Structure 1
Amino acid sequence: MAEAGRRRGRHETEEERADRMWGELIQEVRVAQTGVQILFGFLLTVAFQPRYATLPHSDRVIYIVTVVLGACATGALVGPVSLHRIVSGFRVKPRAVRLASRLTFVGLALLLATMTSALLLILRVATHGGFVPYLVAAVVAWYLVCWYGLPLWARRRHTVRPDDRAPGLPPGGPGPGRG
């Protein structure tokens, strides 16, 4: 019975689905926005610290790259809010949700790059150890597993394919990438 209930999915119009997906997306973006904005805020203060002037050129380059990545990540993760404000009331929500979802995905990728670069800089300054690239690579691998590997695995393993739907469901019902 539980299997049959899972296969049926939701019976919602395109607009209802867009409303639900928008609400879910905004909740997800709030989490990422907070993190990237705090990280970006701290990054902006580094150049004003006395020790910044003593950093080797390579570390300053890493810092500049990190700040630019953080700015880009912030822009991409705040983008869905601006998009919603500008298109609200123009009956384009399903398309806006798809665009906002893409912006969020790009923002998360940029956040990953920002965090990688920041971690590299911090560990280089803090330890001066030759093991730093390996440690950073291990952390990035962990992020990749948590942020992309596990979700992709779950999507592949638990997605109901169109030919597996319960009889009587419309073609627009649950399937890959739906619901």
Structure 2
Amino acid sequence: MLQRPLTSEYPEYYVPYVNLVPEGDLLAILSEDLKSTIELFDGISDEDGHFRYAPTKWSIKEVLGHMTDTERIMSYRLLRIGRGDQTALAGFNENDFVEGSQINKQSIKDILEDFIATRKATITLIKNMPAEAWGNKGNANNTEVTTRAIGYIIAGHAIHHKKIINERYLTSKK
């Protein structure tokens, strides 16, 4: 079982994400999170997918698209660092990604299918990562991070955004 990363293994701004990840097997947590993500977004219509709880906030569709984009980028980082690549990896502007995606033109079903495919690829990547690679250190967005930490950041990021959907979007719609 993959060990929870130490706070010294990732930047401080990821602490809230890592802290959201429950104790247990990371692969099982990611698999369960996939099921709960499907349940959450399957119940949202395309019309409701355009809802924003405030004018400057992303729509529900944009949040799901952001979750997918971020997981792809973090999985790429996990792959590169896990394989021992010491090349500094660039950061990304999440707002530019959301704007550039034009995700509100897609159906929520298609956006969810993309998340499902991305999460399945993440699970396969983590499942097949050699044990000795989890402690590898690399540089992403001008900060040092371990492969292990990235796995937990991926899980915590999705949990964080689903919590926001439940607390701020779905309760505001009622």
Bin for the TM-score computed over the shorter chain: 0.3 to 0.5
TM-score by length of 2: 0.39
TM-score by length of 1: 0.38
Kindly indicate which of the two structures has a greater share of residues assigned to strand: 2
Kindly indicate which of the two structures has a greater share of residues assigned to helix: 1
Higher Rg of the two aligned structures: 1
Question: RCO greater where, 1 or 2, for CA within 8 Å and sep 6 or more?
Answer: 2
